[in-house]
C-alpha cells in the first residue's frame, strides 16, 4: 500500500506536469493502489508510465487522446482495460506481469499500435481482431497459456519480431507464412511436434528458436533446403536431437543448431575477443526500450542469449566443421 509520502510525491509530479505542460509523466514504482484524480488534468500527455505499482484499475484512459506510450506492467490488473482501445494514437503498450487472461476484440481498434507486450499475464486467448493492428511490429507474449494463435496473425505484414516462448502451442497458423517482414520468431518451450512448414515462406526470417519443444520428426532434406535463407534455426533440446543422424545434418545444413551454443563455446574455451556479426535486427528486437520499465531489463537479458546464438553462428560452424569431414 502506498504511504502518505508516496501519494504526496505522485500528486506533486502530476501538478508539475500540469504546470509545465510536459508530455511525459513518470509514476513508476510509487506503490500506488490508485492514481490521484488530478491526473485527469494531463490530457495532453504523450507518454505515461504507471508500471511497478499495485493498480487494480486505471484512470479514465480514454481522455488521454494524444497518448502514444503507456506502461502498465507489474501491477495487479485483473483484466485488460478495454477503455484504452479508444486511444487511436497509441504506439507502444506494455501490460506484462498482470493477471490478464484474454485480450478484448476491441484491441483491433489500435491501428497505430507498433509494439504490444503481454508477457507473464496468464494470457490464454488472442482474438482474431488482432489482425486489424496493421502497424504492429513487435509482439511479446512469453510465459503464458496460449494454445493457439488466430489465423489473422497472417495479415500482420508489418510484424518484424515476435516471441511466444513458454506457452502451450502445438502448431502455428499456416497463414503466418505470408509474414514477409518477420525476422525474429521465438517459439521456445512450447509443444510443437514438427518444424512448421510455413517457415519456408517467411523469406525475411533470420532467426527461429524452436528449442525445448516436442519435435520428433525431421523434415526431408528437400524441405530443409527451403529453409536455408534462415540464418539460425535452433532445434536444440528436442527429442529429435537424440534420434537422428546428427552428422548428416551438421554437414549439410549449417543453419540448424542441435545443441546449446553457449555451452559449446564454453567447452571449447573460445577467446572473448571474437567479433560478432552486427546484422542482427537488434533495434527491432528491443523496440519497446521506449517503455522505460522493468520489462525492458528482462527483455534485454532474454535477448542476450538469442543475440549471441545468432551472431556467433559462424563460430559455431567453425567449431563443428571437423565433424563434417
Total domains present in the chain: 1
Specify burial of residue 315 (Cβ count, 10 A radius: 0-12, 13-18, 19+): buried
Q: Is the residue at 64 inside a domain?
A: no
Does 291 have pLDDT greater than 60? no
Q: Is the residue at 241 inside a domain?
A: yes
Contact yes or no for 164/184 (Cβ under 8 A): no
Please state which of the ranges 93-97, 106-110, 167-171, 301-305 shows the lowest mean pLDDT. 301-305
Does 241 have pLDDT greater than 50? yes
Q: Which residues contact 132 (CB under 8 A, 6 or more apart)?
A: 108, 109, 111, 152
CATH code for the domain in which residue 290 is found: 3.80.10
Contact yes or no for 163/138 (Cβ under 8 A): no
Residue 313: which pLDDT band, with cuts at 50, 70 and 90? low
Q: Is the residue at 171 inside a domain?
A: yes
pLDDT at 268: 38
Q: Is the residue at 28 inside a domain?
A: no
Q: Find the domain containing 195 and state its range.
A: 147-324
DSSP 238: S
Q: Is the residue at 123 inside a domain?
A: no
Q: What is the pLDDT of residues 132-167, one digit of tens each?
A: 999 999 999 999 999 999 999 999 999 999 999 999
CA distance linking residue 94 with residue 303, whole number of Å: 17
Q: What is the pLDDT of residues 55-105, one digit of tens each?
A: 999 988 999 999 999 999 999 999 999 999 999 999 999 999 999 999 999
Contact yes or no for 190/168 (Cβ under 8 A): yes
Q: Is the residue at 82 inside a domain?
A: no
Does 21 have pLDDT greater than 60? yes
Share of the chain above pLDDT 90, in %: 70
Q: Is the residue at 142 inside a domain?
A: no
Amino acid at each position: 500500500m502506498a504511504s502518505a509520502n508516496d501519494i504526496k510525491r505522485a500528486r506533486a509530479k502530476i501538478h508539475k506536469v500540469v504546470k509545465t505542460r510536459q508530455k511525459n509523466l513518470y509514476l513508476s514504482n510509487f506503490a500506488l493502489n490508485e492514481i490521484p484524480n488530478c491526473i485527469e488534468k494531463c490530457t495532453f500527455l504523450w507518454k505515461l508510465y504507471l508500471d511497478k505499482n499495485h493498480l487494480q484499475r486505471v484512470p479514465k484512459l480514454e481522455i488521454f487522446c494524444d497518448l502514444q506510450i503507456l506502461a502498465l506492467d507489474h501491477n495487479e490488473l485483473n483484466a485488460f482495460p478495454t477503455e484504452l482501445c479508444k486511444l487511436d494514437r497509441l504506439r507502444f503498450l506494455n501490460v506484462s506481469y498482470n493477471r490478464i487472461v484474454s485480450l478484448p476484440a476491441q484491441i483491433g481498434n489500435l491501428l497505430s499500435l507498433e509494439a504490444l507486450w503481454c508477457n507473464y499475464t496468464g494470457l490464454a486467448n488472442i482474438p482474431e481482431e488482432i489482425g486489424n493492428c496493421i502497424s504492429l511490429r513487435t509482439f511479446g507474449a512469453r510465459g503464458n497459456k496460449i494454445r493457439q494463435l488466430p489465423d489473422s496473425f497472417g495479415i500482420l505484414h508489418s510484424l518484424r519480431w515476435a516471441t511466444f516462448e513458454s506457452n502451450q502451442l502445438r502448431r502455428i497458423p499456416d497463414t503466418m507464412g505470408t509474414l514477409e517482414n518477420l525476422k525474429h520468431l521465438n517459439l521456445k518451450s512450447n509443444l510443437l511436434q514438427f518444424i512448421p512448414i510455413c517457415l519456408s515462406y517467411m523469406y525475411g526470417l533470420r532467426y527461429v528458436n524452436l528449442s525445448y519443444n516436442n519435435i520428433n520428426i525431421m523434415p526431408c532434406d528437400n524441405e530443409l533446403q527451403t529453409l536455408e535463407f534462415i540464418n539460425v534455426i535452433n532445434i536444440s533440446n528436442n527429442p529429435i536431437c537424440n534420434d537422428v543422424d546428427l552428422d548428416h545434418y551438421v554437414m549439410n545444413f549449417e543453419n540448424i543448431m542441435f545443441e546449446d551454443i553457449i555451452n559449446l563455446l564454453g567447452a571449447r574455451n573460445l577467446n572473448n575477443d571474437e567479433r560478432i556479426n552486427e546484422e542482427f535486427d537488434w533495434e527491432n528486437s528491443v523496440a519497446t526500450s521506449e517503455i522505460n520499465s522493468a520489462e525492458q531489463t528482462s527483455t534485454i537479458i532474454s535477448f542476450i542469449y538469442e543475440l549471441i546464438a545468432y551472431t556467433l553462428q559462424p563460430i559455431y560452424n567453425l567449431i563443428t566443421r571437423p565433424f563434417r569431414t
